[in-house]
Chain A
Amino acid sequence: MSENAAHADHHHVDYIKIWKILLVLLVISVVGPFLGDFLEIQVITLITAFGIAIVKAYLVAKNFMHLNLEPRYAVYLLLTMLMFVFLFFAAVAPDVMKHEGQNWVKPRIEVVEAPVHH
């Protein structure tokens, strides 16, 4: 328990305050994209939806998971995994996102809309 206490004693984080900030960010992430659609400014949607998601994740990782109190290698471990995800994205994305290249054309797949029953 002593290591646990040492790990947690440090911080006089006001968890309720962090939770309130997260809720405000949630509201912004819902309202922002509506505003972005209304004003037809896509960057508002991108920032309020995905930018705020990154901020929320950072707040949870730092204040709730106490990642900032762990030895640096724990952070590097997680960042390495994230790097693998980006590497995967970079390697595969051109093939998935492009429909044709210099010497190839992807066969078009027929997309069938699901039947809607109201």
Chain B
Amino acid sequence: MRPIANTRSEAGIPTGRLAVWWVVASEIVIFGGLLASYVMYRLGNPEWAGYAAHTNVWLGATNTFVLLTSSLSAVLAHQAAVAGDGKKAAKLLYFTCLGAVAFLCIKGFEWTTEIQAGYTITSNTFWSFYYTAAGLHALHVIAGAIIMLIVAETAKRNEELHRVELIGIYWHFVDIVWIFLFPLLYIAK
């Protein structure tokens, strides 16, 4: 029997999905506040363009490609879950997790290169923002991948298929955050 909290729908949205929208809403304030602060400092300090020139556009673009592709597999997993095909949904979620791992590997390589070049979180305010924003985003990628593995485990038994959509919404939000981080940290020189 499912808990009543999962089945009530007075809000017009199933409770689980409504909860995810609340998570996304709170995340907008967290990332929005961080990025708004970055934009203020960036506009107030034109010399930051010189620091931003040291970030690697191609690695950033590759990671954007990886996240957009993983978003595609997440929404295809949702489509499979709606069709009642839990096994296919689980496979697509595993593929999405693979995207998360690829993203983190590229990010790890990038950070290693930058730290070896002497650009650390304490170098100056630009690099503090860079590591904080990208690091917070990477933590969200890790959390999403772990939750996705748990959801995939139940989905492949054709159980709790609605969760596939819920983790998908979160994952797409993580993708959207990166869509804004990419031009801010990599492109605007």
Which A positions have Cβ atoms within 8 angstroms of B? 1, 3-5, 7-9, 15-16, 18-19, 22-23, 26, 29-30, 33, 37, 45, 49-50, 53, 56-57, 60-61, 63-65, 70-71, 73-74, 77-78, 80-82, 84-86, 88-89, 92-93, 96-99, 111-118
Asked if B28 and A64 sit within 8 Å, CB to CB, the answer is no
Contact of A49 among B26, B44, B119, B183 (CB under 8 A): B183
CA distance A74 to B127 in the complex (A): 35
**B interface SS class:** helix
- B72-80, B97-105, B143-151: which one contacts chain A? B72-80
> Which of chain A's residues have a CB closer than 8 A to the CB of B76?
15
> Which of chain A's residues have a CB closer than 8 A to the CB of B25?
77-78, 80-81
Asked if B119 and A81 sit within 8 Å, CB to CB, the answer is no
- Number of residues in B with C-beta < 8 Å to the partner? 64
Closest chain A residue to B44, Cβ basis: A97
Closest chain A residue to B169, Cβ basis: A65
> Which of chain B's residues have a CB closer than 8 A to the CB of A78?
21, 24-25, 28
Asked if A70 and B13 sit within 8 Å, CB to CB, the answer is yes
Asked if A37 and B189 sit within 8 Å, CB to CB, the answer is yes
Contact of A4 among B47, B71, B81 (CB under 8 A): B81
Asked if B176 and A61 sit within 8 Å, CB to CB, the answer is yes
Contact of A89 among B11, B18, B39, B180 (CB under 8 A): B39
CA distance A70 to B61 in the complex (A): 31
> Which of chain A's residues have a CB closer than 8 A to the CB of B4?
none
Asked if B21 and A49 sit within 8 Å, CB to CB, the answer is no
> Which of chain A's residues have a CB closer than 8 A to the CB of B22?
77
The reply to whether the CB of B137 lies closer than 8 angstroms to some CB of chain A is: no
Asked if A8 and B78 sit within 8 Å, CB to CB, the answer is yes
